[in-house]
Chains A and B, each alone.
Chain A
Amino acid sequence: MRSPAETKLRWEETFKHGPRISALQRAIKFNGPESPCVAGLRSLCWKGFLLFPDASAEEWPRLLRQLRDSYDTLCEQHLKFIRHPEQLAALSFDPLADDPESPWITVRKDEAIRAEIQQDVSRLPDDPFYHQETIQTMILDILFLYCKLNPSAGGYRQGMHELLAPIVHVVAQDSVDDKQSSVTDTLDPPIVELLDSSRVEHDAFALFSKVMDRAAAFYEVEQNTIVEKSKYIHEVALLKVDEELASHLRDIEVLPQIFLIRWIRLLFGREFPFEQTMILWDAVFAFDPNLEMIDLICVAMLLRIRWTLLEADYSVALQLLLKYPVPPPPHGPHTFVDDALYLQNHFDAAGGVALITKYSGRLPAAASVTATVTSTPSRSSTPSFQGFGSLRQRTLGARSPLSSTTKLLQQPGGVEAILRGAAKNVIEKSEKLGINDAVRDAVGEIRRNMQGLQDTRNSPRINRTLFSDNSLAIFTLERRNQQLATMLEESITNLKQLVASDFEGDKQKQLETVEVAAAKIQYVKACLEDSTLDLPVEEPPTLATLSISTHPETRSPTVALDTTAVVMASSAVEEARSRLSSPASSDRNNTLASVPEEPPTESAAEEIIDKMDTDPPERKQTPPPARPPNPEPETSPSVIHTPTTMPTPKERPQGPIPTRSTLAQSSFAWMLEPDTTVSARSPPNRPLSSSGKKKHNPSREKNAFLFGEVVPNDGAAGERTVSPDEIFGLQPIRKI
Chain B
Amino acid sequence: MKSISARQTGIILFLTILANKILLLPSIMYEKTKADSLFVMFLFFAVELFVLWIFFALKDKFGNKSLKDVLQNLIGKSFAKFLLFVFLIFFLFKTMLTYSVIYVYLKDLVYQDEFGFLALICFLPVVNQGVICGLRAMSRSFELFFYLVLAGIIFCLSIAFFTNVSFPYFFVSNPSQIFNTWFTYIFSFGDYLVLFIFMDKIHIKKGEKKKILSFVFLGIAIVLSIFLIFYCKYHDTAFMHNNALADLLVFSVQFNAVGRLDIIAMVTIMALGLFQMEIFQFAFCESFVMVFPKLSIKYAVAVFDVLFFIVYFVLIGKYELMIQLTTEYLPYFAVISNYILPILIFALSFKHKKEVKDAKTI
B is bound to A: no
Which positions in A face B, CB cutoff 8 Å? none
Which positions in B face A, CB cutoff 8 Å? none
